Chains A and B, each alone.
Chain A
């Protein structure tokens, strides 16, 4: 019996851009930057072609996990305003296509990273995809208000993968680069959650602001920021650190702690009075925090390279 449904015209013919949007290009840019820093500060060197291939396939792996996330989360994405326009909930790309692209690109990226660099880097990339798609998207995102913390771990792996691509191992420095992004994500995201009207509640996703209240969220921001500071200082003391990283760590963590303290000290009434100025400032600072921290690592690596 012939099934002709495959030839039936679709209501909407997806463009290449629709498929590309499945890979979450904006998240990918952060992945590319941090993986590149991990790769450049690691002892040893790759051929520029290998370096390019490593970054490309790490980014592709991150994109694959984004596509798997969009496949699985299409039901809740459709409910929330911020995500309703994504390719799957808006109907531009079929759910099965997102799954196929996610699985296909996962395989390609892991195998190609192994061939271009080594098995440790490829193994870490495979674990990152598994962690983001299965542990975070399928399991913990919908079941715990600490979902941001768990999701942050997936975003924290790229510099570690970049490092492993060069050295073939995991070291204290690469673990601390992971730790920096891991500890930075919760305060960064919860500050955003405080001043944006979110509809996670409608989608049934437990967000800290909803489940534990906004005052508790303020306490959490301060707690994670306090725990973040020693990671930043510790990273500056490792082999990849140096005077620039130390200066950046001291200044950035000082500013970040001050911002978190200001957030903790006030309540929603005073926040609404000035339209969440302190929270918005803290969120903006958090973007600079991560970018400048990793740029400082690059600067120290460049100085070390010139001195050698």
Chain B
């Protein structure tokens, strides 16, 4: 029983680590999205119809 217990401890530390890493990753992606959207980076792309507003003006 003792061996199993130690093994569970290790697994727990790993699961918490992976969990926190994933939460951190979500936070980074969310923050990047907020920054890019609020700054107005191009958010449109070709969508099978002509959209003159997307034409690059030289």
Contact = CB atoms under 8 A, between A and B. Distances in A.
A9 interface: yes
B35 A14 contact: no
Interface in A245-274: none
Given A13-B14, A112-B28, 8 more contacts: A9-B7, A16-B16, A16-B17, A47-B39, A49-B32, A49-B35, A50-B35, A115-B32
Contacts of A116: 32
The 9 closest A-B pairs by CB, nearest first: A16-B17, A13-B10, A16-B14, A49-B31, A49-B35, A47-B35, A13-B7, A15-B13, A15-B10
Interface in A167-218: none
Contacts of A14: 10, 14
Interface in B3-44: 7, 10-11, 13-14, 16-18, 28-29, 31-32, 34-35, 39
Contact of A56 (B13, B17, B18, B28): B28
A13 B9 CA distance: 9
Contacts of A52: 28
Interface in A24-74: 47, 49-50, 52-53, 56
A: contact size bracket: 10 to 19
B18 to A, nearest CB: 7
A15 B14 CA distance: 5
A14 B10 CA distance: 7
Interface of B: 7, 10-11, 13-14, 16-18, 28-29, 31-32, 34-35, 39
A35 to B, nearest CB: 16
Contact of B32 (A13, A20, A50): A50
A16 B39 contact: no
Interface in A100-114: 112
Nearest to A20: B17
Max count, chain B CB within 10 A of own CB: residue among A16, A17, A112, A115? A16
A296 B13 CA distance: 41
A53 B32 CA distance: 8
Contacts of B35: 47, 49-50
A49 B11 CA distance: 32
A47 B38 CA distance: 12
A13 B28 contact: no
A17 B10 CA distance: 10
A24 to B, nearest CB: 17
Contacts of A20: 17
Contacts of B18: 16
A85 to B, nearest CB: 18
A256 to B, nearest CB: 39
Contacts of B16: 16
A74 B32 CA distance: 37
Contacts of A50: 32, 35
